[in-house]
Amino acid sequence: MKQILPEEHQVAAIELAAYWTGSFGDKTRIDYGTGHETTFMAFCCCLQKLGVLTEEDRTAVVLKVFNTYLALMRKLQRTYFLEPAGSHGVRR
């Protein structure tokens, strides 16, 4: 994040990195689900709040960026056989 964020937003790099990495599934459980997609959108919202993304970017974020993210995640799901998040239920 520090490499791509403008200097004035470097303080947000750690929090943004957590949203970014959380968008690509859980490496421990090897799963992926709608919570990960929501995390990706939270990442995009953070970029918008910081002013990195603007009002003019909103349509492109949904139609291009999010669709590209979903296509990548579908490929990762097929390649690595990711389980649906929550598919194993809660164990007590």
SS3 48: helix
What confidence score (pLDDT) does residue 77 get? 86
pTM metric for this prediction: 0.84
pLDDT reading at 90 higher than 60: no
What confidence score (pLDDT) does residue 92 get? 44
* Span 49-87, pLDDT tens digits: 999 999 999 999 999 999 999 999 999 888 888 777 766
Domain boundaries, the chain: 7-82
| Residue recorded with tokens 């929550």 | 86
> Taking residues 33-37, what's their average pLDDT?
89
Task: Report the alpha-carbon distance of residue 87 to residue 1 in Å, rounded.
Answer: 31
What confidence score (pLDDT) does residue 80 get? 81
Instruction: Give which of 1, 34, 33, 36 is closest to 16, Cα–Cα.
Output: 1
Task: Report the alpha-carbon distance of residue 58 to residue 83 in Å, rounded.
Answer: 31
Task: Report the alpha-carbon distance of residue 39 to residue 80 in Å, rounded.
Answer: 20
